[in-house]
Amino acid sequence: MQSKMQRLCALALLVTAPLAMAGGNATELRLVGQARQEVPNDQIEATFYLQEKQPQPALLADHLNQATAHALAEGRRYSHVTLTSGAYNTWPDYDRNGKIRGWQGRAEVRLKSRDMQQAAQLVAVLQQSMLMEGMQFSLSDASRRRMENTLIPNAIADLQEQARISATALGKKVHHIAELEIGNSRSSERPPRLLQAKSLSVASEGAVSEPDWQPGQTVLQIQVNGKLILE
């Protein structure tokens, strides 16, 4: 068996071998390059629901099915909006004695779109018969990928500039980049603002004015980790 000293010597040779290839006076430098950009959110997602109570489960199911079918039919009028079925649940309603006195149910539809104008129009329509559980704005996958492709070269350029400054301070030059790791993009959202309705006129009974919103921005950041050899 190799002694502990022999194993340590072998490990030292493995670590210093790459540096020896660059020259006996090489220095290893590890740096992190970053690039960030504020990007306008271009996608909206929202969930609408209807919750009812009926004495019979069949009557409850019929009401929920009709409501969701009507909502999905309305959604098909907006070609740039995707409206899909969401969660659907029914459960018994008990009295104080533990006996079933009726049935409750909840049905959802989910909205997703990159067309803010059509989405606002459909939101106003859906709110006439359903309640909104939540809404959020985000950066679409296509926009995120496109921005990442722009930020990666910028992050690498930041890494190279740091290496140049460091090398100059040490009286050396960058020999080559030995390792480069591109991390996953990170994002933080700036909250949107929901403004007043577009029309200040009084809506007719049962009608809902279209919302006028500002989707906010997402701050997208790319980080690259590199090991560089200086000579």
Which candidate, 120, 181, 116, 185, places its Cα nearest to that of 147? 185
Instruction: Provide the CA 41 distance to its chain's centre, in angstroms.
Output: 10
Q: Specify the pTM.
A: 0.73
Give the Cα separation of 100 and 94 in Å (integer): 4
Spell out the per-residue pLDDT of the chain, length 231, in tens: 444 333 333 323 233 344 445 556 788 989 999 999 999 999 999 999 999 999 999 999 999 999 999 999 999 999 999 999 999 999 999 999 999 999 999 999 999 999 999 999 999 999 999 999 999 999 999 999 999 999 999 999 999 999 999 999 999 999 888 998 988 777 776 555 544 444 434 444 567 888 878 888 999 999 999 999 998
CA dihedral 37, 43, 47, 48 (to 10 degrees): 140
Taking a C-beta distance cutoff of 8 angstroms, is the pair 73, 49 a contact? no
